[in-house]
Amino acid sequence: MVFSSVSFLFYFLPAFLAVYFLAPAGAKNLVLFLASMLFYSWGEGAYVAVLLGYLVFNYACGLALDRLEGGARKVALAFGLAVDLAGLAWFKYLMLVLGLFPERFGSVPEHLPAGISFYTFHSISYLVDVYRRSATAERNVLSLAVYLSMFPQLIAGPIIRFKDICGEVRHRIHTWEKAYSGSRQLVVGLAQKVLIADNVGPIADAAFDAVPGSLTAGLAWLGVVAYTFQIYFDFAGYSNMAIGMGRILGLTYPRNFDLPYCSKSITEFWRRWHISLSTWFRDYLYIPLGGNRVSRSRTFFNLLAVFALCGLWHGASLSFVVWGLYHGAFLILERTPLGARLEARPALVRHAYALLVVMIGWVFFRSPTLPGALGYLGTMFCVGGACTASVPSELFEATPWHALWLALAALLATPLRGLLGARISLADAGPLVPASAWARRRDTAGSMLLLLLSAMAVAGGTYNAFLYFRF
């Protein structure tokens, strides 16, 4: 079940909210857990057992870490992390690798448990925080179950630390202001997804799915531009919907995007893009490896290792690993004298540099194979006569129809979105609480309009599954 579907928006969510707010305070966690199991089992079926297995194992392991001392705690932590990562490796990597050799290993299931990367990282952060004594082991199994399985962030994040949310999981305060601002952010995220991402997505799909050699360089660039906006508004839309629903339920989820395409360096980009993932890798991998407190060469190695794993986290494909190493390489370059020279350039030059680097990187991220990515880049830069290739009819027909959406996406991905109105925005949303009654009426009317347009798009069957569901 996806957030931008008729079944979720018109049936599941209203029914859940009615039951949740009618339930007594002591039963709200049970209602949220049961609803999360229903949400997950809707499309995952037997894979619910995998999620429950993570829950039972990490509950027991957390209690053991809280009880043990000395070297035994290190052994328990290592064992817990090994089991959590083994589940991720089995379903996301080993099964995919075996599937490449059907003549030897037979038929291998292609479907992965949705969200396994996210709830694995939640499990790991829980165990590490208990080990570090920055959180106490949860003795109420229902509270830990809610943390690992709450449906707003179960499938695609944001990644939430147990130590940051355990208080709200155990005891939440519900207010009209939280419900109001959460509802607005939910609508913002829905509009990002169905009004922006789903309308520029066909351009990217047509370009990247075109027969090799059939694109002109200009249309290849157009496809990258479209995908650049598609993945941003798709994932930021999901994050805003999740954050908004969490706020309605009295839960505070971290902000996940902060206008990343306004960055003036790749270092800054990773402070703004998928913030919960980049900070997770920083706190649980980069810093334990030594971070930047070690020698210069070791720091560079740490950066490459972290971003190689970041790429691998997104999928068992060489193109993802190259994408991660590509970003890691630019992070290293920005720590050399070249970075200092870049800092001396005008802001517009630095912005153009960062955006160009990110867009080229998206080619590796979007292409299903590394040779496909290299071929697409060759077309973009007119290698091998691509500038005179034929034009696919479906791409040619889509471009004029979606030109307005591309222009709107470009506007809404920058601070220029303020030209459309101070608070009626489809870009990254924080807690949206107007300061005056007039502003509240204005913003409510804007939200209702966005909700109406989004509901019409969803009801018309034009939505697509969120891109990050596959990760």
Supply the residues annotated as catalytic: 314
Judge contact between 266 and 330, C-beta under 8 A. Answer: yes
Say which amino acid occupies 239: S
Q: The dihedral of CA 4, 468, 219, 259: what is its sign? A: positive
Paired tokens of 319:
């193109």
Kindly report the three-state secondary structure assignment for every residue of the chain. CCCCCHHHHHHHHHHHHHHHHHCCHHHHHHHHHHHHHHHHHHHHHHHHHHHHHHHHHHHHHHHHHHHCCCHHHHHHHHHHHHHHHHHHHHHHHHHHHHCCCHHHHCCCCCCCCCCHHHHHHHHHHHHHHHHCCCCCCCCCHHHHHHHHHCHHHHCCCCCCCHHHHHHHHHCCCCCHHHHHHHHHHHHHHHHHHHHHHHHHHHHHHHHHCCCCCCCCHHHHHHHHHHHHHHHHHHHHHHHHHHHHHHHHCCCCCCCCCCCHHHCCCHHHHHHHCCHHHHHHHHHHHHCCCCCCCCCHHHHHHHHHHHHHHHHHHHCCCHHHHHHHHHHHHHHHHCCCHHHHHHHCCCHHHHHHHHHHHHHHHHHHHHCCCHHHHHHHHHHHCCCCCHHHCCCCHHHHHHHHHCHHHHHHHHHHCCHHHHHHCCCCCCCCCCCCCCCCHHHHHHHHHHHHHHHHHHHHHHHCCCCCCCHHHHC
> What tokens were used for 274?
């998928």
Q: Whole-angstrom Cα distance, residue 8 to residue 212?
A: 38
> How many CA atoms are closer than 13 Å to the CA of 420, on its beta-carbon side?
17
Neighbours of 73 (CB within 10 A): 17
C-alpha to C-alpha distance for 152 and 245, rounded to whole angstroms: 6
What is the C-alpha separation between 181 and 202, in angstroms, rounded? 32
